[in-house]
A and B are shown apart, each in its own frame.
Chain A
Amino acid sequence: MNRRLIEFGVVLFFASVPFWLGNLYYLHILITTGIFIIAAMSLNLLLGYTGQLSLGHVAFFGIGAYTSALISIGFDLELTDTYTFVFEPKPVWFSFLCGIAFAAICGWLIGKISFKVRGAYFVIVTISFAEVVRLVALNWIDLTEGPMALNNIPPFTLGIPGLWELTFFKKEPNYWLVLALCVVSFVIVRRLVQSRAGRAMIALRENESLATSVGVDVTKYLVLATVISAGMAGAAGGLYTHYIRIVDPDVFLFIYTVTMVIMVITGGKGTLLGPIVGGLIFGILPEALRGLAGPEVQWVIYGILMILVVYFLPGGIVPALSNWWRQREDNQSTSSPGDAAPGTAS
């Protein structure tokens, strides 16, 4: 019960931020940070819980972004010289769901293809996939406008069309929306990893042959993890596209995947809070360092930081902190053997 209360308090605190922050630019930073946290949580499901490193994760993010943008602004495709397929604009909530669904379908496909082989192969397949998708976005100008970018993407709206509608032009509602989806993503991941499905994922990360010996269908759970992870990344992409309201092929840049990986590794892969802690650090740090160092120098620092974390804090920040906390409690009182949080140190 205590735990519930703390969680509620934390969410309430974050929800109250727009009321006292008083700086729209900082709020903007928090919104983009939140979007990246969702993406990082989705990556963590794969990297942290199944142990598979997806280095093309940004593809799912970008697919979600482009799909949602295109469906909300409509498009037409010249299929033959005489027939043009015209797609009318659809409401944003619908396009957003389509973005999630399409990203998840792509995840299913990639999972099916690449889990025949794993490890290094999986990494390379995912990179390749992201690169192919980026090139398609860049070159299929009829559909994506290529490097000219898709503009005037409608923002989110809330309400009943015709009766009462709130369009999210301002930063505050976007912030709350991102926060809400952060919470939803967190809850989904937590339910998953504390269930049969999540335990199967952890089991095959820990010891694949032992996992199969007790009946875990490895491929099934790897694909499931990829589908859910891709869908969540697609949701993050949709949020991004309707918040920034412009999307170009640069959303597929490898550097974004690296950002997510750094967030997850630093925060703590395979922990529930890791991506959030890592996401907050690397979402806010660039702003803090902005006056002190140029972007290149910052990235040099991040690269070195990642190496240092892997060397000295291989589990990441969250497990290190929770170990420290546990030791402190052990010193204060003799612990009773209760239920530890399943599968995670969170």
Chain B
Amino acid sequence: MDQLLQHILNALILGGTYALLGIGLTLIFGIMRVVNFTHGELYTFGAYMMFMFVMPLQTNFFLALILAVVLGMALGAIIEVVLLKPLRGADIDTTMLIMIGAWIAMQNMEQFVWSGIAKSIDNPFPVEPLVIGAISVSWIRIFVFVVACALIVGTSALIRWTKLGKAMRATFQDTETAALMGIRINSVYIATFAIGSGLAAAAGALLGPIFVVYPTMGDLAALKSFAIVILGGLGSVGGAAIGGFILAMMEELGAGYISSGYRDAMGFLLIIVILLFRPTGLFAQKERIG
């Protein structure tokens, strides 16, 4: 029983960052109809920025986190303007190929700049974990969970209540009508891509200090984001948040009770099963076939 509780707690904490990844990807897909293969690289980028600020530059940990997210957003905006803006109106396959090219280029740039050796990041939290009964959890994980939840809530609030959020939702519903109503679609797209990228960078910057940082870490993160997004339904933000927690739960329980080697396979098995029985995902409102 204690073991189960421990697994559930771990899953909750991991699920927060998974949800960030999923929301970032699903926002971009839902609004822009772009399958963003650079998502994992923004995650990696966030982790490396965290490393760079905290380790060689000795910046304050919390400031480093903010900087990593802001830089992630900036990088996302650059990708949008340079790669996607000239391709407005192109079909989804074309943008997909562009994004694959960008993925490969970015990953290898990271490899070139940082070398292939895994790096770890120090954190300012006490080493002694918080122990409640038989369950223990480290302080850094609690911090990560709290920040992730805050970002999820913040993003939802932004979409629901701000002017930008309204413009994003209008674009999601119907791009042409939104444009006719005077919404500047280009700005919405840039903002969307920046926010999505910022969330991925945040996930990387948060998980970097818990695990280690290496150039190909984004591959698995990207693939898991896809799993989460499919689980929640392409384009559904709430679905992606819940999907993130479900995937984390399955991984934790799968690793704990089946085999740790197949931990990362859970998400993919889930995708295949879901597409078999409910192709539009668990929470999609409308039929969305990309």
Contact = CB atoms under 8 A, between A and B. Distances in A.
Indicate whether A and B are direct neighbours in the complex (CB within 8 Å): yes
Given A51-B93, A123-B96, A124-B230, A132 B105 contact: no
A127 B102 contact: no
A261 B268 contact: no
A12 interface: no
Q: What band does the interface of chain B fall in when counting residues whose beta carbon is under 8 Å from A?
A: 35 or more
Contacts of B112: 294, 296-297, 300
Interface string B99-110: 011111111110
Nearest to B260: A139
Interface string B262-277: 1011011101100110
Most-contacted residue by chain B among A116, A135, A265, A314 (CB, 10 A): A135
A296 B109 contact: yes
Contact of B108 (A124, A138, A139, A300): A300
B77 to A, nearest CB: 18
A135 B98 CA distance: 28
Contacts of B259: 139
Interface stretch (A33-41, A303-311, A317-325, A335-343): A303-311
Contacts of B109: 296, 300
Contacts of A294: 112
B97 interface: yes
Contacts of A16: none
Nearest to A307: B101
B83 A132 contact: no
B182 interface: no
A310 B95 CA distance: 9
Q: Is chain B's binding surface mostly helix, strand, loop or mixed?
A: helix
B261 interface: yes
Nearest to B103: A303
Given A121-B230, A125-B272, A296-B108, A254 B219 contact: yes
A306 B112 CA distance: 19
Given A116-B279, A135-B262, A129 B268 contact: yes
Interface in B98-144: 98, 100-109, 111-112
Interface residues of A, number: 45
Contacts of B1: none
A310 B97 contact: yes
B221 interface: no
Contacts of A169: none
Nearest to A51: B93
A120 interface: yes
B264 A119 contact: no
A302 B104 contact: yes
B226 interface: yes
B262 A307 contact: no
A307 B90 CA distance: 14
A21 interface: no
Interface in A119-148: 119-121, 123-125, 127-129, 131-132, 135-136, 138-139
A119 B271 contact: no
Contacts of B280: 117
A295 B106 CA distance: 13
A224 interface: no
Contact of A299 (B108, B230, B261): B108
A346 interface: no
Interface in A76-117: 113-114, 116-117
A191 interface: no
Contacts of A125: 271-272, 275
A124 B271 contact: yes
A342 B261 CA distance: 49
Given A302-B104, A307-B105, A135 B264 contact: yes
Contact of B105 (A128, A131, A265, A304): A304
B272 A128 contact: yes
Given A297-B112, A307-B101, A119 B223 contact: no
Contact of B111 (A132, A261, A296): A296
Nearest to A131: B268
A27 interface: no
B105 A303 contact: yes
B86 A311 contact: yes
Contacts of B111: 296
Contact of B227 (A128, A138, A306): A128
Contacts of B219: 254
A118 interface: yes
B71 interface: no
22 contacts: A55-B100, A117-B289, A118-B289, A119-B290, A120-B35, A120-B96, A120-B290, A121-B275, A124-B226, A124-B230, A127-B223, A128-B267, A129-B268, A129-B272, A296-B109, A296-B112, A300-B109, A303-B106, A305-B101, A306-B97, A310-B98, A311-B98
Given A120-B35, A132-B272, A300-B109, 20 more contacts: A114-B275, A117-B279, A118-B289, A119-B92, A120-B234, A120-B290, A121-B230, A124-B35, A125-B272, A129-B268, A129-B272, A136-B265, A254-B219, A296-B109, A298-B108, A300-B105, A304-B105, A306-B100, A310-B98, A310-B101
